[in-house]
Amino acid sequence: MNKNIVCIGAGYIGGPTMAVIAKMNPDRRVIVVDINKERIAAWNSKDFNLPIYEPGLVEIVKEVRGRNLFFSTDIKKAVRDCDIVFVGVNTPTKMFGKGAGRASDLQYWEATARNIKDWAKCPKVVVEKSTLPVRTAAAMDAILNSEVKVRGESERRMFTVLSNPEFLAEGTAIKDLLDPDRVLIGGPQDTPGQAAVQAVVDIYLGAAGNWVPRTRILTTNVWSAELTKLAANAFLAQRVSSINAIAGLCEATGADVDEVAQVIGADKRIGPKFLKAGPGFGGSCFKKDVLNLVYLCETFGLHTAAEYWMGVIKMNDHQQERIVSRLFKEMFNTLANKKIALFGFAFKADTGDTRETPAGTVARLLADEHVNLTITDPKALGNAKNDLRDLKGVVYEIDPYKAAKGADAVVLMTDWALYPTLDWAKIYATMRKPATVFDTRNCLDATNLRKLGFRVLNIGK
Ligand code: UDX
Ligand code: ADP
C-alpha cells in the first residue's frame, strides 16, 4: 500500500497536525502543500523561522522535516503521488451574498475539491480537516465522484470522503495532538467507506501502535462527525459566554466571579474547565462555528434554536463593549487624548494569532474615543499592526515597561504568563496618576497592585 499522505493547506491546522502525524508515522511520507509560496518558504526556512508559533512545534519540525515531512507548492504532483489527502484549507465566514456573516465561504474548499478530481489518477481517501458546515462532505463527494470512475470497475467510488475534524486548541496544539481526548473519524457505513476509515484509524494508532489508544478513536457517520465539531465548539463558547454573563452580575452585586466559578466547577457534572471570565472568546473557530450553527438552524427553520446560539455571540460582543464603558466611567467619563497601553493582543496566551481577538475590538472602541493607544505583545505585534493598519497613530512596542510609560491606564487583554511577573512598582512609577490597571483576565495580584497605588478594575469583581 502506498503510504504517502498529502495535506492541502499549511496553516494552523495543517502544519502542526502533519508534523505530529509524520513524527508518529516514520514509515510514511507526509507532504504539506499550499498555494501561498511565502508560507511554504517559511516552513522550509533554514533557521526554522516557521509561519506559526506553537510551543513544541519547532522541535518536532526539526526532527521530521526532510526525513518524512516535506513542504511544497507543487500541489498537483503531491496529490497525484499519494493515497490519502487531508484538506485543511481555510473556510472563513462568508462576507457576501446568501448567508453573509453566518455561513462559511466555501470557494477555496470547492476549488480544492475540483483540483483533486482533475489531478488524481488512482482512488483516494479524501479527509476533511477544515471546519465545514454539516453536509459539505456530500457536496465534496458529488464534485469528486462526478465524471470519474475507476476503469473497469464502474461500481467503485474513485474517492471516499471522510470527516476528521480537528479539536486542537492553539497554544496547546502539540500537546493536544500527541495526547488527544479523542480523535473523531466520520465515514460512509458501506464496506469501502469503512476500509477508508480504518486507513485513517491506522495513521492515528501510529507506526508502533502507541500513539492514540484505539478506545479514544471514535468513528461515526460523516454527518455526525461534521456536526460534532460545530456543536463541541458551540458548547465551549457557550460556557465562556455563560460565565461572562454571570461576571456582569457579580460586578453589579459585589460577588466575585472567580469564587462563583470555582464552586460551580466543583460539581463533577459541570467540571472546572472553561469557566474563566474574561474579555470574551476569540480565535478562528468559536465565532465562525457558532455562526455556522446559527445558519444551519435557520436553514432548517429552527429559529428559536438559531436565536439561542446567536445569544452566545451577542453576549461575547457585549463583554468587550462593557470593558470600554467601565474604563470610560472609571476614567472620569472622558478618554480623549489619554494614553492607554493594551497588554497583550493575541486572542489568548501562547499564540501569535489575533483572529477575532477581543483586544482588536477593544482597540477600535478606544480609538473611537480618541485614545492614544499603545499595544504590546510578546508574539502578536506583527499581526496587530496588520489588523489595525487603518487606525492612525497607534504605537506598537514590544517592551511592556516602555509601553506603559506615561500611560493613564494599562488594560491587560491577554493572559501571558509574563505579565504577573513584571515589576509593577516600576511600571507605576512611570505612569501618569491616578494610574489605572484593568485586568480583564483576573491574572494579576490585585491586592498588591492596590498597595502600590494603582486603581484596579477586574472582570466580575
Ligand atoms: C478552540 C477549541 O478549544 C478547539 O477544540 C477547536 O479545535 C478550535 O477552537 P482555540 O480557539 O485555539 O481552540 O482556543 P481555546 O483555548 O478554546 O480558547 C478560545 C477562546 O476562549 C480564547 O479567546 C480564550 O481566551 C477564551 N476562553 C477560554 C475564556 O475566555 N475562558 C475560558 O475559560 C476558556
Ligand atoms: P486553519 O486555521 O484552518 O489552518 P489557515 O488560514 O491558518 O487556516 O490555513 C489555511 C491554509 O490553506 C492557508 O495557508 C491557505 O493559503 C491555504 N489554502 C487556501 N486555499 C488553498 C488551495 N486551493 N490550495 C492550497 N492551499 C490553499
Q: Indicate if 215 and 272 belong to the same structural domain.
A: no
Q: Is 393 exposed, middle or buried (0-12, 13-18, 19+ CB in 10 A)?
A: exposed
Q: Would residue 260 count as lying in a domain?
A: yes
Q: Indicate if 298 and 427 belong to the same structural domain.
A: yes
Q: Would residue 162 count as lying in a domain?
A: yes
Average pLDDT over residues 325-337: 96
- Among 220, 236, 264, which residue terminates a domain? 220
- Among 220, 238, 272, which residue terminates a domain? 220
- Nearest-angstrom CA–CA distance, 198 and 84: 12
- pLDDT at position 387, please? 97
Q: Would residue 238 count as lying in a domain?
A: no
- pLDDT at position 427, please? 98
Distance 283 CA to ligand 1 centre (A): 7
| Per-residue pLDDT tens over the stretch 359-381 | 999 999 999 999 999 999 999 99
Q: Would residue 248 count as lying in a domain?
A: no
Average pLDDT over residues 384-410: 97
Q: Indicate if 315 and 435 belong to the same structural domain.
A: yes
- pLDDT at position 130, please? 77
Q: Would residue 379 count as lying in a domain?
A: yes
Q: Would residue 232 count as lying in a domain?
A: no
Q: Indicate if 277 and 188 belong to the same structural domain.
A: no
Q: Indicate if 322 and 450 belong to the same structural domain.
A: yes
| Per-residue pLDDT tens over the stretch 215-248 | 999 999 999 999 999 999 999 999 999 999 999 9
Q: Would residue 360 count as lying in a domain?
A: yes
| Per-residue pLDDT tens over the stretch 406-450 | 999 999 999 999 999 999 999 999 999 999 999 999 999 999 999
Q: Which residues are the active-site residues?
A: 285
Q: Indicate if 314 and 404 belong to the same structural domain.
A: yes
- Which of 89, 81, 66, 83 is CA-nearest to residue 15? 89
Q: Indicate if 188 and 124 belong to the same structural domain.
A: yes
Sheet containing strand 409-412, edge to edge, reads: 395-396, 372-376, 339-343, 409-412, 436-439, 455-458
Average pLDDT over residues 272-281: 98
Q: 281: domain CATH number? A: 3.40.50.720
Average pLDDT over residues 47-65: 95
Q: Whose CA is nearest to atom 16 of ligand 2?
A: 36
349's CB contacts (< 8 A; 6+ apart) are 171, 414, 415, 416, 417
Contact 415, 439 (CB under 8 A): no
Domain residues for 169?
5-220
Q: Indicate if 17 and 69 belong to the same structural domain.
A: yes
Domain count of the chain?
2
Ligand 2: which residues within 6 Å by Cβ? Answer: 8-14, 34-36, 39, 75, 88-90, 108, 111-112, 130, 284
Q: Whose CA is nearest to atom 11 of ligand 2?
A: 9
- Nearest-angstrom CA–CA distance, 23 and 174: 11
Q: Would residue 241 count as lying in a domain?
A: no
Q: Indicate if 306 and 440 belong to the same structural domain.
A: yes
Q: Indicate if 313 and 456 belong to the same structural domain.
A: yes
Angle of the 286-299 helix axis to the 303-330 helix axis, nearest 10: 140
Distance 19 CA to ligand 2 centre (A): 16
Q: Indicate if 303 and 397 belong to the same structural domain.
A: yes
Distance 269 CA to ligand 1 centre (A): 20
- Among 220, 246, 275, which residue terminates a domain? 220
- pLDDT at position 135, please? 74
Residue type (1 letter), 10: A
Q: Indicate if 74 and 139 belong to the same structural domain.
A: yes
- pLDDT at position 156, please? 54
pLDDT higher than 50, residue 154: no
